[in-house]
Amino acid sequence: MKANYEIDDSLLDNQSTFNDSFFNRFHLRHAPVPLTLTPDISKNYLFPTFYNQVTCAIGIFMCSYDSAYAMVSQSLGPKVKPVKMTKQRSLVAFSCYEYKSVMNVAPYNEIAMTLPVMVDPGVNPPLLPMVMDKHFKKFGYYVFGMPVTSKENQIRGNTIWGLPKVTQDIDITQEDGDCVTIAREETGEPYFKLRVPTKGKPVDFDVTSNLYSRLGNEMLQSETNFKASFQVNKYMGQLFKKNTTPDRNYLVLGDTPSARILKDLDIDAHPFQFRFAKQMTSCFDLPNPDFKTPGPLPRTY
C-alpha cells in the first residue's frame, strides 16, 4: 500500500459496522478534546479505536539483551527492562497489520516493532513473563518503531500516544504459503522484509496487554486487545541455540537508516515464533490516566 499523505476533513461514519461481540465489551467515548491534524482540520474520534477484518502476521525473534536494554533505557530509563531470555538474549516482535476496517478512519497498513518489557520489576525472571503474561501486571511491549501508510494515523500516533510512527509505503501480500511484508524508506528503497508462514497449528488468542511509549517527559501505558484464531509456528529449540541458520531468509534488513536501528539489536536469523491470522478483531485505547511514570525519564535532545 502506497503512503497516503492526504488528510480528509471528514470523519468516517462507520460505527454501525463494528457489531461483533468482541466490540460490545468496550465503552466508546471521545477524547477530552478533538485532535488537531492540520491548521484547518480537527477530528473528534471515538475511543478505543476499533479494528475489524484485520490480516495480522507476527514474527518474533531473539535479539541481544544488552542492545534491547540500551534501546529501552535511552527512552524510558533504567527501570524498564526487556524480558530476559536464554543466552543473554531478549525478544523483538514485528506485528504487521492490514487494517481493512477502522473506526472513523480509512484503511491502512502498519508494522508495530516492539520489545517485551517489565516496568520497574522487583524481579525479572527469564522467559516466564512471556508464557504467563496474565500473572505479570508490569509486563507489556515497548514500541520503538511503527511505520504506517497513513499520514493521518502518523499524526494520531505521534500526538496522542507518543508512538514513533512514520509514514512509509508498506506492502502486505501472500505468496508461496507466506504472508510477506515489505516496508520502504521515503526514497522507495526497501529496508524491511518479513516472511510469515500462513499455515501452522491453530491457536485461539483473546489477549489484553499494554503498550508503552513516551510523550514528552511522560511514559504512557495504553491498553490493547485482540482476538483471533492464529496459525502458529513455534521453534522452542532456539532457547538452547544461538546463531542458527534457518531454512530460508525470513527477515531481511537493508542498508538504510531505518534498517540500521534494527541491525543494532543483533537479531538472530532463525525465528522463535510466527503467528498469522486472516480475520482478527482488535482495539487500542487512549493512554491510562492513572499510570505513573516510574521515575524521571532520560533527557532527549
| pLDDT per position as a tens digit, 43-56 | 999 999 999 999 99
Q: Is the pLDDT of residue 131 over 70?
A: no
**Does 290 fall in a domain?**
no
Question: Is residue 7 a part of any domain in this protein?
Answer: no
In the chain, the DSSP E strands lie at 29-30, 35-38, 41-43, 46-47, 49-64, 80-82, 89-102, 108-119, 139-148, 165-167, 170-175, 178-184, 190-197, 201-215, 218-234, 251-253, 271-287
- What pLDDT is attached to residue 299? 86
131 versus 158: the higher-pLDDT residue is 158
Q: Which helix (H) or strand (E) holds 73?
A: helix 65-76
> Hey, what amino acid is at 242?
K
| Preceding peptide of 164 cis, ω within 30° | no
Asked whether residue 300 is domain-assigned, the answer is: no
CA angle 87, 91, 95 (to 5 degrees): 160
pLDDT digits (tens, 9 = 90+) for 166-203: 999 999 999 999 999 999 999 999 999 999 999 999 99
Average pLDDT, the chain: 94
68: closest CA among 84, 90, 46?
Answer: 90
In a domain, 120, yes or no: yes
Domains held by the chain: number = 1
Q: pTM value?
A: 0.95
Torsions phi, psi for 261 (to 5 deg): -60, -40
What integer pLDDT is reported at residue 123 of this predicted model? 59
Q: Is the pLDDT of residue 122 over 70?
A: no
Q: Measured between alpha carbons, how far is residue 26 from residues 50, 168, 229, 249, 284 in Å?
A: 10, 31, 20, 40, 11
Q: Is residue 5 part of a domain?
A: no
What is the rounded distance in angstroms from the CA atom of residue 29 to the CA atom of residue 49? 10
Mean pLDDT of 80-107: 96
Residue 174 CB-density burial (10 A; 0-12 exposed, 13-18 middle, 19+ buried): middle
Residue 134 has pLDDT above 70, yes or no: no
User: Is 48 a domain residue?
Assistant: yes
With beta carbons less than 8 A apart as the criterion, state whether 104 and 17 touch. no
Is 135 a residue whose pLDDT tops 50?
no
Q: How far, CA to CA in Å, does 51 sit from each of 30, 57, 144, 172?
A: 17, 15, 22, 17
In a domain, 298, yes or no: no
Secondary structure of 12-54 as H, E, C letters: CCCHHHCCCCCHHHCCCEECCCCEEEECCEEECCEECEEEEEE
Lowest mean pLDDT among 15-29, 99-113, 136-150: 136-150
299, part of any domain: no
**Residue span of the structural domain in which 267 resides:** 15-285
Share of the chain above pLDDT 70, in %: 95
Q: Is the confidence at residue 124, as pLDDT, over 70?
A: no
207-265 pLDDT, tens per residue? 999 999 999 999 999 999 999 999 999 999 999 999 899 999 999 999 999 999 999 99
CATH classification of the domain holding 185: 2.40.400.10
The residue count of the chain comes to 301
By three-state DSSP, how is residue 9 classified? coil
Q: Average pLDDT in the 18-26 region?
A: 96
pLDDT band at 127 (very low <50, low <70, confident <90, very high): low
Cell numbers describing residue 159: 500526538
Report yes or no: 133 and 139 within 8 Å, Cβ to Cβ: yes
